């Protein structure tokens, strides 16, 4: 299996972010590095497809989110280079969610009601997507998240709340939490405590993990008094103390980078974390996070030896996409970048098949271009050319096989990552949730 390693030099991509996204604000045409953006007609004038992105360039998840708008813009550039969608260039409006539900909800309102986009790639934080999705549904805007993994969305989709205007290219935590439970048991951890950020992502993951871990025979030390911290709290000393109490073998931390680093540093400073392994998730899969946590007196990462899971990328298109990414940004593919690319490509392919540039058209044709039957194809330009020729396709993405179910979910693979002594991250294995499902 191919795995995606997180590039420590994420700062390289920030340069690319500036070059790519500056050209995308306010419906300007996407450009490559070094080119000057020029205004284009809006889809209302030209009939072209108009998309938006809603990703965290700032806030608690910015260390992971900065590359997402770059990937979305690159997808739009790629499709425009091979003729656009429905005989016109695709335009893109990019918004920063700020990892904040209020800001994210306002940004979605702007995208849907002012910019009149047909689809939005985002959000990343589940709490932001929760704030944004009802706005999208009300305005018949298709929303595909590259990383909102809360099980809440599956439940709401099954209840008919979204009318099909929701999907995600990262699998839900109803898969990832059991995968992490399997990893914990394989490591010999039979007693685990939990501490989570108090939002849809943290609480949803916690509940799925507890269910899976107990099914495997494990014990949740603080099941009757779960630790759920306020993301706006000034200090987290008491939460750290509660999470590491009871002599657990390991502590599951479902965290965001900025606040999570404060909590784990507090545990270390109180002498609570010695000899206890920390289990982590995709929300902190970033070297920025490990560096924020800090080092011991001898320069070793405070959380060296910590283990985590993250949705992997092993799609047929990964190799070609990685080459393109290297050419455009000078860096390696980082977490959730393939998922962002796939969300944008799938949206544009669906619009092409629909032969209309509307959210309804994307919704009604998304599974037709990504699911069986159809000829497997991984190159976006080949895929859209086949659609124009009237052929059925089964798009194979960079993140994996995009086989969406009726709730907009898909299954996925999980990479196991480890924090090294020098605070760098390495993917060391893969794990499946099957044993705990």
What is the per-residue pLDDT for 271? 96
Does the structure show a pLDDT above 60 at 238? yes
Q: Quote the CA–CA distance of 384 and 390 in Å, as a whole number.
A: 10
Buried b (16+ CB within 10 A) or exposed e, 322-343: bebbeebbebbbbbbbbbbbbb
Question: Is the pLDDT assigned to residue 15 strictly greater than 50?
Answer: no
pLDDT score of 417 more than 90: yes
The CATH number for 174-310+413-436, chosen from 3.30.70.1140, 2.130.10.10, 3.40.30.10, 3.40.50.2300, is 3.40.50.2300
Residue 3 has pLDDT above 50, yes or no: no
Q: Mean pLDDT, to the nearest integer, of 38-50?
A: 54
Examine the pLDDT at 32 and tell me if it is beyond 80: no
pTM of the model: 0.84
Residue 217 has pLDDT above 50, yes or no: yes
Tokens of 316: 């047929």
Query: Boundaries of CATH 3.40.50.2300 in the chain?
Result: 11-171+314-395, 174-310+413-436
Q: What is the pLDDT of residue 144?
A: 98
424-433 pLDDT, tens digit per residue, is 999 999 998 8
pLDDT-derived band at 35 (thresholds 50, 70, 90) equals very low
pLDDT for position 13: 40
Which position has the higher pLDDT, 3 or 238?
238
> Any idea which fold 11-171+314-395 has?
Rossmann fold (3.40.50)
Helix (H) or strand (E) holding 143: strand 142-145
pLDDT tens, position by position, 166-176? 999 999 999 99
Give pLDDT, residue 413: 77
Question: Count of residues for the chain?
Answer: 437
Looking at residue 30, its pLDDT comes to 39
Confidence band (pLDDT; 50, 70, 90) for 142?
very high
Find the mean pLDDT for residues 187-196. Answer: 98
Closest by alpha carbon to 202, among 221, 226, 220?
Answer: 226
Q: What is the pLDDT of residues 74-99, one digit of tens each?
A: 999 999 999 999 999 999 999 999 99
Higher pLDDT, 180 or 11: 180
pLDDT of residue 412: 75
Which of 39-43, 65-69, 289-293, 322-326 is the least confident region?
A: 39-43
pLDDT given for residue 10 in this prediction: 37
Specify the higher pLDDT residue, 412 or 342: 342
User: Under a CB-based contact definition with an 8 Å cutoff, are residues 272 and 227 in contact?
Assistant: no
What's the mean pLDDT in 156-166? 98
C-alpha–C-alpha distance, residues 245 and 322, integer Å: 43
In SS3 terms, 256-272 reads as CHHHHHHHHHHHHHCCC
The reported pLDDT for the residue numbered 411 is 83
pLDDT given for residue 19 in this prediction: 38
For residues 401 and 161, which has the higher predicted lDDT (pLDDT)?
A: 161
3-state secondary structure string across 45-113: HHCCCEEEEEECCCCCCHHHHCCHHHHHHHHHHHHHHCCCECCECCEEEEEECCCCHHHHHHHHHHHHH
Task: Indicate the angle between helix axes 337-354 and 359-370, nearest 10 degrees.
Answer: 110
């Amino acid at each position: 299996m191919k795995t995606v390693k997180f590039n420590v030099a994420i700062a390289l991509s920030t340069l690319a972010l500036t070059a790519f996204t500056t050209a995308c604000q306010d419906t300007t045409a996407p450009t490559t590095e070094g080119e000057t953006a020029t205004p284009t007609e809006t889809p209302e004038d030209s009939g072209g497809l108009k998309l938006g992105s809603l990703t965290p360039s700032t806030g608690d998840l910015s260390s992971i989110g900065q590359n997402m708008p770059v990937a979305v813009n690159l997808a739009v550039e790629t499709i425009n280079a091979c003729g656009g969608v429905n005989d016109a260039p695709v335009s893109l409006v990019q918004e920063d969610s700020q990892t904040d539900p209020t800001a994210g909800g306002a940004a979605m309102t702007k995208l849907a009601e002012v910019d009149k986009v047909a689809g939005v790639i985002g959000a990343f934080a589940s709490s932001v997507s929760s704030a944004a999705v009802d706005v999208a549904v009300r305005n018949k805007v298709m929303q595909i998240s590259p990383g909102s993994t809360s099980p809440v969305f599956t439940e709401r989709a099954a209840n008919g709340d979204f009318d099909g205007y929701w999907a995600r290219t990262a699998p839900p935590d109803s898969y990832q939490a059991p995968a992490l439970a399997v990893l914990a048991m394989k490591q010999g951890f039979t007693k685990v405590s939990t501490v989570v950020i108090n939002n849809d992502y943290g609480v949803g993951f916690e509940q799925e993990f507890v269910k899976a871990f107990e099914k495997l025979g494990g014990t949740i030390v603080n099941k009757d008094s779960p630790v759920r911290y306020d993301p706006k709290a000034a200090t987290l000393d008491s939460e750290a103390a509660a999470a590491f109490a009871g002599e657990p073998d390991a502590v599951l931390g479902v965290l965001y980078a900025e606040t999570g680093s404060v909590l784990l540093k507090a545990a270390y400073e109180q002498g609570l974390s010695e000899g206890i392994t920390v289990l982590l998730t995709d929300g902190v899969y970033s070297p920025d996070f490990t560096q924020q946590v800090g080092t011991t007196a001898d320069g070793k990462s405070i959380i060296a030896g910590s283990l985590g899971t993250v949705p992997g990328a092993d799609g047929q298109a990964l190799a070609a996409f990685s080459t393109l990414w290297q050419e455009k940004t000078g860096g390696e593919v980082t977490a959730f970048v393939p998922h962002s690319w796939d969300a944008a490509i799938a949206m544009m392919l669906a619009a092409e098949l629909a032969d209309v540039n509307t959210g309804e058209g994307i919704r009604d044709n998304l599974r037709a271009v990504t699911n069986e039957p159809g000829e497997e194809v991984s190159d976006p330009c080949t895929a859209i050319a086949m659609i124009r020729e009237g052929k059925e396709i089964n798009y194979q993405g960079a993140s994996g096989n995009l086989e969406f179910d009726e709730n907009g979910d898909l299954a996925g693979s999980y990479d196991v990552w480890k924090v090294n002594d020098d605070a760098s991250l390495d993917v060391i294995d893969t794990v499946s949730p099957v044993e705990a499902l």
